[in-house]
Amino acid sequence: MPKLIRITTAPISLNVLLRGQMRYMNENGFEVVMVSSDGTELETVKTNEQCRHHIIPMTRRMTPFGDLRCLWLLYRFFKKEKPDIVHSHTPKAGLLAMLAARFAGVKIRIHTIAGLRFVTTKGVSRKVLIAMERLTGKAATHVWPNSFSLERYVKKNKLVNDKKLEVIGHGSSNGVSLLRYSTKVLNEDKLEGIKKLIKYDPLLKYFLSVGRIVHDKGMDELLNAFVRIHSANPDTRLVLVGAFEDYVDPVSDEARQLIQTHPAVIMAGWSDAVEYFMHLSFALVHPSHREGFPNVLLQAGTMGCPVICSRIDGNIDIVEHLSTGLIFEVKNEEELFQQMQYALNNPLVLQQYAKTLRHHIEQYFDQPKVHSLLRKKYLELLAAQ
């Protein structure tokens, strides 16, 4: 039985970005070992995936001495385990895992690019992050961008040898579960709890944002645009499902002040039950500055929640303007305001876009289909050895 090591920097990525994938592979011909740092989600991950897990104390931040130690620990672990495939996801895990796997003689070394951090950085940090991406690509034998638009960007900027690049299927790292993201399986008690949390009123229209509350998720533009929307439409609310990450990319002081004081902005905090918020919302607004292939758009589309998003790589692989949703130019607060206002003025059109998006997702991104394509590719690579 071939051994597959699946590695992310933190367990939350195994739990949120890759949920169900390791269990699928483990039940379909692979011995799967998961690797990440420790964290509060770890026990949930092990329970859900039913796979062995090994802790390497990686961090998302640049910690040279700590990173060198993790590189050595990974090398020793790979030499001991002798995996057939090492497949990494997230930047820090990708760099360390691909280097360690190469040093340890692992023949199949796969890294998934699910977004590029340097796109929203400047100066020395940008140069360091670009160097990290290129080094990861050199150490890997295969690099899988999780969207076609991201693959085009990687090629254009010569980050990875073109021969190593491939998008699996139609993109996405993990697809979306049509069984979970369905109005038919919502728990009534849980739904009532969410309603109480946001003080739900059926006469109000709720715009929803799901994700880290940081600058490069477009929080500053969203909050400013919403203030204008609310002034003209007092029956609107903005629900933020996510948590601040001030050590990475904090929002502006003005945005933080709006979140804390504006009467129509509802800070719901981080939640693993985003489908309930989507079910109650008028539309999901996703103004991110950078993405690989955003799961939140798949989830919203599967829940029948209309989508308004920025025109960036990843988003444009899922949503087509005036067909499956509304798109505005990234960082353009005025366009974002206009699209939100258009949505309020044309609710029936918005619902039709949502129905079309749901059909598109069912056709290409149903999770079992995505998992099956990944497994098929693993087997092809093993056969080629």
- C-alpha angle 3-14-103 in degrees, rounded to nearest 5: 45
154 in the same domain as 10 = yes
What's the pLDDT score for residue 64?
A: 86
* Cα 317 to Cα 159: distance, rounded to the nearest angstrom: 20
Q: In a structure prediction context, what are the per-residue pLDDT tens digits for the chain, which is 385 residues long? A: 999 999 999 999 999 999 999 999 999 999 999 999 999 999 999 999 999 999 999 998 888 899 999 999 999 999 999 999 999 999 999 999 999 999 999 999 999 999 787 776 778 878 888 999 999 999 999 999 999 999 999 999 999 999 999 999 999 999 999 999 999 999 999 999 999 999 999 999 999 999 999 999 999 999 999 999 999 999 999 999 999 987 767 899 999 999 999 999 999 999 989 999 999 999 999 999 988 889 999 999 999 999 999 999 999 999 999 999 999 999 999 999 999 999 999 999 999 999 999 999 999 999 999 999 999 999 999 999 8
Buried b (16+ CB within 10 A) or exposed e, 252-272: eeebbebbeeeebbbbbeeee
How far, rounded to the nearest angstrom, does the alpha carbon of residue 27 sit from its chain's CA centroid?
25
Q: What is the pLDDT of residue 120?
A: 66
pLDDT at 126: 86
13 and 160 in a single domain? The answer is yes
> Do residues 169 and 213 share a domain?
no
Query: Does residue 270 share a domain with residue 360?
Result: yes
Rounded-to-integer distance, Cα 280 and Cα 305, Å:
9
Are residues 370 and 338 located together in one domain of the fold?
no
Tokens 């670009």 correspond to what residue?
A: 130
Statement to judge: residues 360 and 371 lie in one domain: no
Question: In CATH, what number is assigned to the domain containing residue 232?
Answer: 3.40.50.2000
pTM of the model: 0.91
- Which pair of tokens denotes residue 134? 């290129």
Residue 150 sits in the same domain as residue 229:
no
User: Quick count: other Cβ atoms within 10 Å of Cβ 31?
Assistant: 16
Residues 155 and 86 in one domain: yes
Q: Give the CA distances from residue 114 to residues 24, 142, 251, 258, in Å, rounded to whole numbers and listed in that order.
A: 20, 14, 22, 30
Q: Are residues 159 and 75 in the same domain?
A: yes
Tell me the C-alpha to C-alpha distance, in Å, between residue 213 and each of 136, 166, 178, 267. 28, 31, 27, 10
Same domain, 194 and 103: no
Look up the domain containing 334 and give its range.
183-364
Closest CA to 93 of 67, 118, 69: 67
- Residue 113 φ/ψ, nearest 5 degrees: -90, 115
How many residues does the structure list for the chain? 385
> Do 156 and 77 belong to one domain?
yes
Q: What are phi and psi of 135, to 5 degrees?
A: -65, -40
Q: Are residues 195 and 166 in the same domain?
A: no
For the chain, the domain total comes to 2
